[in-house]
């Protein structure tokens, strides 16, 4: 199953400059493992030393945050779109 994953601008340098990558995967976890294998530098940006997804990295399948689905066990269907959205802090008083 071909799944397209969008890479945010801030992380593209770790993904060979790619804005999107298409991989075969049946779950979000399998997709992330495939992405990490393909781009090890990107893996260090999205996974902590413990191998867990970093808390400031948000993943969406379509418009749904995987935290409200089944996390990395969220199943994927052919043609789905997954987005990596890094959390952004800031603002002013």
Q: Report pLDDT digits (tens) over 74-84.
A: 999 999 999 99
Q: Where are the domains of the chain?
A: 2-86
Query: Is residue 89 scored above 80 in pLDDT?
Result: no
Q: What's the CA angle centered on 29, arms 64 and 80, to 5 degrees?
A: 45
Q: Report pLDDT digits (tens) over 15-65.
A: 999 999 999 999 999 999 999 999 999 999 999 999 899 888 999 999 999
Q: Say if residues 46 and 34 touch (Cβ distance below 8 Å).
A: no
Domain 2-86, CATH: 3.10.20.30
Q: What's the CA angle centered on 9, arms 78 and 55, to 5 degrees?
A: 75
């Amino acid at each position: 199953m071909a799944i397209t994953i969008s890479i945010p601008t801030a992380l593209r340098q770790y993904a060979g400059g790619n804005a999107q990558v298409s991989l075969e995967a049946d779950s979000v976890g399998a997709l992330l493992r495939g992405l990490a294998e393909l781009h090890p530098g990107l893996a260090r940006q999205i996974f902590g030393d413990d191998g867990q997804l970093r808390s400031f990295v948000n993943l969406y399948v379509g418009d749904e945050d995987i935290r409200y689905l089944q996390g990395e066990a969220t199943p994927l269907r052919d043609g789905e779109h997954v987005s990596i959205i890094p959390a952004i802090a800031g603002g002013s008083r």
